[in-house]
Structure 1
Amino acid sequence: MKLGLIINPVAGVGGSVALKGSDGVVEEALARGAVKQANNRTRIALEPLVAVKDKLSFITASGEMGADLLSEMGFTFEVAYQAPELTSAEDSKAAAKALLDSHVELLLFAGGDGTARDICAVVEETLPVLGVPAGCKIHSGVYAVTPKAAGELIASLHRGELLSLVDADVMDIDESQFRQGVVRAKRFGEMRIPSSLRYVQAVKQGGKESDELVLHDIASEVISRMEPGARFVMGSGSTVAFIMEELGLHNTLLGVDLIEDEQLLASDLTEAQLFEAITPGTKLVITLIGGQGHLFGRGNQQLSPRVIRAIGRDNILVVATKRKLQALDGRPLIIDTGDAALDRELTGIYPIITGYRDSVMYRAANPTD
């Protein structure tokens, strides 16, 4: 699992010296004898991950913004941003940009509402994030309830437990007014966070009727993402077949079809035909095949390594019911393309479409890793 880590080392530094925050008063707070606490709070968050640290890698910023703590705790990491000795909001933004460019799977950050604003300004909803509460004021929904809870949430993701991806508000207050006793919170955006699974009623009830309801919701979500002119490669499997049925299109159950503007362009394509048909931005819709949870390597040989590379990991849409994912009992989805280098590129955390505006995070891996 490839995680990003950003620590705002001066988050909340003014709290212990009655400055009610850190915005614009860092030097004054330190002069008053304030002690930085953000790294200690992050240490608590990382402790649940120590037992599986050989399975994790971090991308972070230098010094107190992440590298020092990761080195001390024995985690594997790379530095993507060189931070100055005294950091500011601009460093949080620059570090977030560097981690986004490094394609981390989840960004863990420690700070307060101001830090959340800085991260949101760069990341928005393009990357799952999780905040470690370390500031004086925490009004944003992107933070775990405690630092330990943040670490436990990531540990549960590594164990293969289902976690919903939900939109959470980024809020902040004016600290200058806060120091005068006036609390005025303002919404600045939202980011996507992993959260304990929200089971939809249809999944709880069981039976054919509820399964059809879930499949209808999955189809509605995929169809809502079909922008004009975009091509979609529709893979094998009954879940993908249901999407084609909702579109009123013929589906090749054990083959690969191509659609554009919700119309069928070609059916049951060969690998060579598929490769030639790929255009920039082409999306691939696939589901897990068989009881072992294969994404690539079983039942979809037309999706060769060169086809998958031409499409790109960011354009892969994985669809599945929560019931099917739960049946894996925590085992990762299987990536077995026959190309070891590509398998490594494709492993990691995927957002799985499980309903309309509903998705969960789940891990994919090569069985030999």
Structure 2
Amino acid sequence: MHVGFVLNPVAGMGGRVGLKGTDGKVAEAIARGAEPRAPDRARRALERLAVVAPDTTVSTAADPMGERLVRAAGFDPARVVDPFGSSESADPPAPTATTAEHTARVVEAFVGAGGDAGADGDGGADSSAPVDLVLFVGGDGTATDVASALERAGASVPMLGVPAGVKVYSSVFAVSPEDAAEIAATFSRTERREVMDIDEDAYREGEVRPELRAVAHVPVADDLQSSKQTASGTVESLAEGVADDIREREGEGVTFVLGPGSTVGAIKAALGFEPSPIGVDVWRDGEVIVRDGTEAEILAALDEENVIVVSPIGGQGFVFGRGNPQLSPAVIRQCDVRIVASRAKLDDVRALRVDTDDPDLDAELSGWVRVRVGKFETRMMKIV
């Protein structure tokens, strides 16, 4: 197996600082104190790949798009594609200097459409051989860049995503970095799947406009997630029941961290305030104390007793790790977690999932949990 590995080093940086995405917002994310998320997720995928398939041939992109991490995981790259045209003595570009065009150049070189310019073959394998799989780290924007490059090259090489973006609407991603490595090492067939992306400016205004950007060959495995689906059915009774429970705690100083999405949005409306439809709001003793909060703002609002109310995102079954990065491990560890969902949403998922960037926390959250599905009714679901 010859894997072409490429990293979008700034993917996901806008999430925890409340930007709902990073496209065109890298400078603002940094100004808000954002820290890189994607490199650590890349590291996790590569380290797992080195365990499950140590003989894998890996080609990669020059830093900051992959080389250092590939070597640190123990792979000697068969090829290092330099999309920047840098000299060997030059320092690598800053992560913020990377663009969609750089990703496209790397992918096109992987599949033989980029020529040998700027490429260095220093491993034992044939550095000019096309890769068998493009393994990329990023979000929907990166997935679009990879798929578009493959399409322009006329290549049927499959692609697989290590999820690191704020928005992960496409069905080309593995559930976690480790799952991506497992799939890359073991898949035996592919199928055509959709690459979706949304208008981030509209998304920041609370409107989700998913658009089909490409259809790509993707390895088939149970641990590939489905694309997000819009939840169906009404949640009024559920929202009323949860809102009643929250009101009963008024005057006790309990802080409720109310996640994004339509289901929790209905609870916010039942409490009597206009929700941030894709943001996190914080409620205590009958009033909103943080609206559309960042991770830092949420942490500052927490007190002695805190409760997160969250709903799985669309048809994926993700409770944490998709669409709500503000609910970071630091936030989750200070809160009790209450999961709510419509019956229709749960009918569409086999299990619930978490991907918090903290494997230990993911393990702590796993197991059977009670999900509120009505005014009084609950259902047992397993977080895997």
TM-score by length of 1: 0.50
Q: Which has the larger radius of gyration?
A: 1
Q: Compare the two structures and name the one with the higher helix fraction.
A: 1
